[in-house]
């Protein structure tokens, strides 16, 4: 399995201190669960990245947003 799961101690410390934080990325399958890249039957639906910097605050990026919208229409 690839991608992130939980935030670790360094992530939480950086967020609480308002420091630059590279962030975490989650690759999600069509069931909105973490994608298992070792399972060739699973298909990526979209990816979500959350990061933060002191000037702009939190940043949320959704890669595959159009595919995500199609799943709900």
Q: 48, 32 in Cβ contact below 8 A?
A: no
The neighbouring-strand residues paired with 27 are 47
Q: Record the pTM.
A: 0.75
End-to-end Cα separation, the chain, in angstroms: 29
What dihedral do alpha carbons 27, 30, 31, 33 form, nearest 10°?
A: -10
CA–CA gap between residue 43 and residue 28 (Å, rounded): 9
- pLDDT grade for 1, boundaries at 50, 70 and 90: very low
What total number of domains does the chain contain? 1
Residue 3: inside a domain: no
Q: Containing domain of residue 29, as a range?
A: 9-71
For 14-37, how does the pLDDT look when each residue is reduced to its tens digit (9 = 90+)?
A: 888 888 888 889 999 888 888 888
Residue 1: inside a domain: no
Residue 4: inside a domain: no
């Amino acid at each position: 399995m690839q991608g992130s799961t939980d935030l670790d101690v360094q992530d939480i410390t950086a967020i609480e201190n308002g420091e630059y934080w590279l962030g975490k990325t989650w690759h999600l399958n069509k069931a909105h669960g973490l994608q298992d890249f070792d399972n060739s039957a699973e298909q990526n639906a979209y990816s979500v990245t959350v990061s933060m910097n002191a000037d702009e605050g939190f940043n949320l990026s959704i890669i595959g947003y159009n595919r995500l919208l199609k799943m709900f229409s």
